[in-house]
A and B are shown apart, each in its own frame.
Chain A
């Protein structure tokens, strides 16, 4: 007699159900050896048959006990649908199947009395994206010939740094009537319009983080693409700080200020300035919430670099200080401009919000010329760990918000002075060039991306609930884990190569989009190049509606 009670957790309560075909399984053990979530286990099943073969009832029994692979039924070791079992199965005998009737969101809360946490991106409304309703609809032909994507010289550069209008540049007319420098102009770096967005050394495995850094160096040194990477908050390896490759790194400071001790200490040994500093105020995936690194990922080297013991590391939702918010922002801008003697541009990253335009307008005034960029992160951004309710339900889509900010600057005649960078689910469909291009046409100077980079390296998570277990530290592909045995699964060279290749492909594709509209440089704000197949989107973004 099986004693199953109503409250017992069974497979049909869980988000994924393991489909297993015992007749195809050879019990090679691969699936159970590979599953990092311990969501499947070997078990013995009974087979019993009662039958009668004769003309009369002559009961006979056949009994066997067969080892099989079975789904684990509990709320800590449950299947995340990563599909590693399917990947390693030589016989196609096992696969996770999405369970549309899952009770997981309810039972997890009921049992744990705690909020649900996970990584990944927003899992609601997968498939409906504003950007997919936009097309590059103004094609140059005949009188304004389109450019040749392959041969034309394109200028795919975006500013990171405060752009001064010509009249405000620090020049004066000398006695001989010639222009002379008059003071220091704010630093500006012209970089590739796709920044690899801030993922920390705690969020990513050391192999993954190094792979990204290496890919960035390779793209610069070998491919001539001036791609920059933002460190994420949580420290930067000292060896990198002291290397020439620091010039490709944008250092991040967030509310936890993790890792800055070693950055400051490394300053006398720096042979290059960093590419920039990014002050993180908010994150699109979990706006209004601080960083979260689950204890299981706080490995020894993270503890050392961050200067903390093993614990769940929560950054406060805002930068703490004795100041008002405005003063606090000012403090950060001034301090980080000063930290590198005003040679390194400093930008700010905020979560897209109903109030983003006000924030942006405040920064646009920038009387001290120290605001080097406005990074706006939308709701579809990814995260290594967040409360699911924040991930799914808080935040603001990036597209209209970016557009609003751009148009706000335009209305003041100040567009381009504070470069606008947008993110949040860009490249979600795998097609970053198109998304980046559309955002740029709507007014962004460039975009930044994180989760997609992981997907390039082998992350199998998606927005339909697959995997999304970055918070567990059990990443099956060695990307968001600090467990050596899982980290070893990731080939850092292949991961780096994939990133490089994706960028090379994307670079071609960006040209393929710039050519038809006849732009040699990035078409920042050229919304006339876009049309919308949705009237609401068209009206909201002030672009042409087509059908």
Chain B
């Protein structure tokens, strides 16, 4: 006889859950193992309870409250006669719970063991968080009809069977959105289902599933006393099962990939397809070869002039001359210079201030390349062979350095040239005014001889006047005015008549007339000519020479040093008031005592032989960019007749005019040629050259300069680029003419710019593509 546990007191008042449960505990302690509980919504009936000897407990409950059978242990069976409230079988740890009616919400919630059989429906969230402890049998949860929504959320294990009996008309026997977060276990179900979460698969049964159901279904139906349904519920084709996706499967989304979306659903050809050409399939890296490089290298040999070449008024490309020397092509090298100037020995080697050396990159390392020595190397070089006779004749007015340079170049270009010289000797100021100590005469004469030997006709003692000029113009295909500047400029200070003119003085010195000077000499003008005058004055016996100027002296430092070495002084700024018998009186009252005062502030050309209208406002020949007189086609002017300058300027303009005349004589149109730009220093990797110790420096052999020249702008063929290229993209290609080039392979090059960054000569340049 089971213990009767009544949920009411003697007055038919409901007792509390606590009192009811105490009654059960007392009976249990008294040895009862079967209980018939008449509840009135009392909770937590059925567990966790046990017996000392392990004999089973059985509860039959009517009208239970929430959580009937919760925490139930193995050996406990609870049968609810009728329906149960929420949380029936909650945290079931092994009990068998039979609900003959419906289960409430969250039936079998967190069940981890035992069996729960429901003869009707269950509410929402049923079976949620069911688990399977592997040390025990998995929990089973059987429902004859259907569950509410959100069931089996976060289910981690165990078995649920939802038979869907009589619920075929529903959209879903699991309500809506069940199985969210389900990670384990199996749910068998019969009947329609929808709104399942993405966390699970809905599958057909396999053989093991069928045998499980076939074996357990009778047990269930027996418990809920509906054995007659066995046949109906064992058509396994009507059944499916739900299992959780595995960890790996969970990562997979059913959505299309973005690629699929773009190709299949997005606007065809892309929304910019009509205005931009772009293949979206191609995605560049951060580093690319080929077309997506940000920079592309170009090997630009001789794109820029070296500083020496660009700064040389005669435009001599010394870097190329040295390259030839380096290659062992000595003859070619020495001849090369003669294409630019017939005076490499006299001018480059002796009197030129060598602007090339001021500009020389090597200067920044130790000393500039020794240009004077290099110039002298060409002193004995044979003249290049002139081109074949053109049949044209050119007259050159003036046999100075400019006129001779023009004549020389014209002759080399194959023209007949006649030089008209007023003096008894050609050479102009080189011969007439440069002191012997600055230009050994045998050097000059040797070079003049080389000019004459080229077949240039020279008429000395032939000053050109207007009638002769007209005649020359008529008889020749072109005329070069190269008469220089021989009218000294004199400032009409009071007492200016006391002054000697520098040019006349120097001419007298060089002609051997030994002009007299006093012990104290003041030279007005501290430019190049002024320094020559100073030297001349010392040579003529002066004891103290002082050069004055109104501004910073224009002479070159080596010229000034030369004078200072002899004891000369340079004074500036000094503004002359007047010249007296005592010397030069300054505007500031200073008196420079002088026995002789010489003025050397420049000379003007005497162009009285050409029509006045050919001249500029300043009295110079007005010429265009090609050296041709603006007013007289076929007449070219060079040197000091167009602008006062150095000897090298005269030579440069002479050579240049000769080239224009060559074009002119061939009937070509004259356009001013742009001189190549000087290479920017930033392009050069000077660091690759080891500076020599200045303290020990001395030029012993001009040929040795080949190792010091950086070869700015001209490839020295060192192959640094080829070695440094990280992609091995650079090759050196020999050309048929014996030359070579370096080439970067676009398919390999990544545009890093290492070649350009380390090229000693600045040959590689990166074209910016972005």
- Report which A residues bind B (CB closer than 8 A): 1, 26-30, 32-36, 38, 41-46, 63, 65, 67, 84, 87-88, 150-151, 206-207, 209-210, 213-214, 217-218, 221-223, 237-240, 243, 245, 300-301, 304-305, 474, 476, 483-494, 496-497, 500
Whether the Cβ atoms of A44 and B258 lie closer than 8 Å is no
Whether the Cβ atoms of A65 and B687 lie closer than 8 Å is yes
CB closest chain-B residue, reference A63: B690
Whether the Cβ atoms of B272 and A206 lie closer than 8 Å is yes
Proximity string of chain B (674-714) to chain A, C-beta cutoff 8 Å, 1 when within and 0 when not: 00000000000101111000000000000000000000000
Question: Number of B residues whose C-beta is below 8 Å from A?
Answer: 57
Query: Which residues on B sit within 8 Å (CB–CB) of A35?
Result: 294
Nearest-neighbour CB distance to chain A for B282, whole angstroms, equals 7
Once the chains are docked, how many angstroms separate the CA of A43 from the CA of B726? 14
Whether the Cβ atoms of A493 and B727 lie closer than 8 Å is no
10 interchain pairs (CB within 8 A)? A27-B726, A29-B287, A29-B754, A44-B757, A151-B180, A207-B280, A222-B255, A245-B267, A485-B294, A487-B278
Q: Which of A28, A43, A206, A486 contacts B758 (CB 8 A)?
A: A43
Query: Which residues on B sit within 8 Å (CB–CB) of A301?
Result: 272, 275-276
Given A32-B754, A485-B770: A150 touches B292 (CB 8 Å cut-off): no
**B668 interfacial by beta-carbon distance below 8 Å:** no
Query: Which residues on B sit within 8 Å (CB–CB) of A207?
Result: 278, 280
Query: Which residues on B sit within 8 Å (CB–CB) of A41?
Result: 753, 757
Whether the Cβ atoms of B275 and A305 lie closer than 8 Å is yes
Query: Which residues on B sit within 8 Å (CB–CB) of A88?
Result: 286-287
Query: Which residues on A sit within 8 Å (CB–CB) of B291?
Result: 485
Proximity string of chain B (268-294) to chain A, C-beta cutoff 8 Å, 1 when within and 0 when not: 011111111010101111111001111
Once the chains are docked, how many angstroms separate the CA of A65 from the CA of B756? 15
Whether the Cβ atoms of A240 and B286 lie closer than 8 Å is no
Q: Which of A29, A150, A240, A489 contacts B271 (CB 8 A)?
A: A240
Given A218-B261, A485-B770, A496-B258: A206 touches B278 (CB 8 Å cut-off): yes
Whether the Cβ atoms of B758 and A33 lie closer than 8 Å is no
Greatest chain A CB density within 10 A among B180, B727, B770 is at B770
Once the chains are docked, how many angstroms separate the CA of A487 from the CA of B276? 12
Greatest chain A CB density within 10 A among B265, B285, B757, B758 is at B757
Query: Which residues on A sit within 8 Å (CB–CB) of B258?
Result: 214, 218, 493-494, 496-497, 500
Nearest-neighbour CB distance to chain B for A457, whole angstroms, equals 12
Whether the Cβ atoms of B685 and A43 lie closer than 8 Å is yes
CB closest chain-A residue, reference B689: A65
Whether the Cβ atoms of B259 and A493 lie closer than 8 Å is yes
CB closest chain-B residue, reference A222: B255
Once the chains are docked, how many angstroms separate the CA of A82 from the CA of B450? 66
CB closest chain-B residue, reference A29: B752
Whether the Cβ atoms of B278 and A489 lie closer than 8 Å is no
Query: Which residues on B sit within 8 Å (CB–CB) of A240?
Result: 267, 271
**B515 interfacial by beta-carbon distance below 8 Å:** no
Q: Which of B278, B283, B754 contacts A491 (CB 8 A)?
A: B283
Nearest-neighbour CB distance to chain B for A156, whole angstroms, equals 17
**B468 interfacial by beta-carbon distance below 8 Å:** no
Given A210-B272, A240-B271: A34 touches B287 (CB 8 Å cut-off): yes
Whether the Cβ atoms of A44 and B758 lie closer than 8 Å is yes
**B1 interfacial by beta-carbon distance below 8 Å:** no
Whether the Cβ atoms of B752 and A42 lie closer than 8 Å is yes
Query: Which residues on B sit within 8 Å (CB–CB) of A488?
Result: 278, 282-284, 292
Once the chains are docked, how many angstroms separate the CA of A44 from the CA of B756? 11
Query: Which residues on B sit within 8 Å (CB–CB) of A496?
Result: 258, 262
**B153 interfacial by beta-carbon distance below 8 Å:** yes
Query: Which residues on A sit within 8 Å (CB–CB) of B418?
Result: none
Whether the Cβ atoms of B752 and A32 lie closer than 8 Å is yes
Query: Which residues on B sit within 8 Å (CB–CB) of A489?
Result: 283-286, 292
Q: Which of B255, B272, B688, B750 contacts A223 (CB 8 A)?
A: B255
Proximity string of chain B (102-123) to chain A, C-beta cutoff 8 Å, 1 when within and 0 when not: 0000000000000000000000
Whether the Cβ atoms of A67 and B265 lie closer than 8 Å is no
**B463 interfacial by beta-carbon distance below 8 Å:** no
Whether the Cβ atoms of A44 and B685 lie closer than 8 Å is yes
Whether the Cβ atoms of A483 and B770 lie closer than 8 Å is yes
**B175 interfacial by beta-carbon distance below 8 Å:** no
Query: Which residues on A sit within 8 Å (CB–CB) of B177?
Result: 151
B326-367 interface (Cβ within 8 A of A): 364
Once the chains are docked, how many angstroms separate the CA of A63 from the CA of B693? 13
CB closest chain-A residue, reference B286: A34
Given A29-B727, A32-B754, A496-B258: A238 touches B283 (CB 8 Å cut-off): no
Q: Which of B259, B275, B293, B750 contacts A485 (CB 8 A)?
A: B293
Once the chains are docked, how many angstroms separate the CA of A214 from the CA of B273? 14
**B768 interfacial by beta-carbon distance below 8 Å:** yes
Query: Which residues on B sit within 8 Å (CB–CB) of A42?
Result: 752-754, 756-758
Once the chains are docked, how many angstroms separate the CA of A300 from the CA of B275? 8
In addition to A210-B271, A485-B294, A493-B280, 13 A-B residue pairs with Cβ atoms within 8 Å of each other are A27-B724, A28-B726, A30-B752, A32-B757, A34-B294, A65-B689, A150-B180, A151-B153, A214-B258, A218-B261, A239-B267, A485-B769, A489-B292
Query: Which residues on B sit within 8 Å (CB–CB) of A32?
Result: 752-754, 757
Whether the Cβ atoms of A43 and B757 lie closer than 8 Å is yes
Query: Which residues on A sit within 8 Å (CB–CB) of B255?
Result: 222-223
Whether the Cβ atoms of A44 and B687 lie closer than 8 Å is yes
**B266 interfacial by beta-carbon distance below 8 Å:** yes
Query: Which residues on A sit within 8 Å (CB–CB) of B278?
Result: 206-207, 484, 487-488
Once the chains are docked, how many angstroms separate the CA of A494 from the CA of B258? 8
Query: Which residues on A sit within 8 Å (CB–CB) of B262?
Result: 214, 492-493, 496
Given A218-B261, A485-B770, A492-B280: A304 touches B757 (CB 8 Å cut-off): no
Q: Which of B276, B282, B770 contacts A206 (CB 8 A)?
A: B276
**B75 interfacial by beta-carbon distance below 8 Å:** no
Nearest-neighbour CB distance to chain B for A118, whole angstroms, equals 19
**B467 interfacial by beta-carbon distance below 8 Å:** no
CB closest chain-A residue, reference B282: A488
Once the chains are docked, how many angstroms separate the CA of A35 from the CA of B271? 30
Whether the Cβ atoms of A29 and B726 lie closer than 8 Å is yes
Once the chains are docked, how many angstroms separate the CA of A211 from the CA of B270? 10
Nearest-neighbour CB distance to chain A for B756, whole angstroms, equals 8
**B368 interfacial by beta-carbon distance below 8 Å:** no
Nearest-neighbour CB distance to chain B for A229, whole angstroms, equals 12
Query: Which residues on B sit within 8 Å (CB–CB) of A222?
Result: 255-256, 261
